[in-house]
Homo-oligomer: A and B are copies of this chain.
């Protein structure tokens, strides 16, 4: 048995759902849930692009799953399972793989998902990881990016900007940052399980930064988005760093909170279905185009960086 097959048998076969056929066949067989549509997304994480070489392998695994799960959350879908491809340098210690697989196991249990299949290979350079996540949704109930209407409120779940500040801290650029911010960068929480159908008209998750992702939603809906910077919710740990980081918070990525378009009058129902998760109205969709960020005195703020670039 070659090294590759031994690795699959040791670390990945125990994670496989019955669809995965023990990872011993050419492909997985999945019976779709009757009367549901399937929702599909794929995301990759590369060493030096999406994570640092020194990051804990279990956290890398969990972030890979959670980034994909967040895409399902943004569609209002319920996750089922995933396929995984890994390419690892030959010299990578076996411990790394064991910790990586343990991370997968922890989050498979946390989100009730199963491994369906995948592929393992050697890599000439860094670590390359891909997950393709499958979920399901009731037909017609998926939340699209293009469903916003003029007058809909712009709402966000949780707090915005923590992950970007956490990344700055991990880079050594932000002394005194609270460990909570670092955790928000390394272990985001996908906002699954919110019964948003009939309450929100559109949704997107914040992966590239609030301004950029809100821009996608506005463009796809044929509208402009106007938000008030002072209304964008900050965690106490982010607020403690002061106003100097406003631009980082509003343009930095990796929060994996949801931006929602919510028709007037649906705010209370939104709060109800979100339960303990805070939701905050930060602006409104209007005719026009672009994202307009206003100060508390309603002057227009201009940011040098409207987009997020992975490090």
Q: In the complex, which residues 118-177 of chain A have their Cβ closer than 8 Å to any Cβ of chain B?
A: 118-119, 121-126, 128, 130, 132, 134-135, 137, 139, 142, 144-146
Q: Is the CB of B41 within 8 A of A27?
A: yes
Partner of A48, one of B31, B37, B124, B130: B124
> Are A74 and B26 CB-contacts (below 8 A) given A41-B117, A130-B130?
yes
Q: Is the CB of A32 within 8 A of B29?
A: no
Q: Is the CB of A25 within 8 A of B124?
A: no
Interface hit among A79-87, A240-248, A293-301: A79-87
Instruction: Count copies of this chain in the complex.
Output: 2
Bound: A207/B13 CA distance, A: 20
Residues of B within 8 A of A38 (CB): 29-32, 38
Interface size of A in residues (CB-CB distance below 8 Å) = 62
Bound: A271/B279 CA distance, A: 64
Bound: A135/B38 CA distance, A: 13
Q: Residues of A with Cβ closer than 8 Å to B?
A: 2, 19, 21, 24-32, 37-44, 46-50, 71-72, 74-75, 77, 83-85, 87, 116-119, 121-126, 128, 130, 132, 134-135, 137, 139, 142, 144-146, 203-205, 216, 220, 307, 310
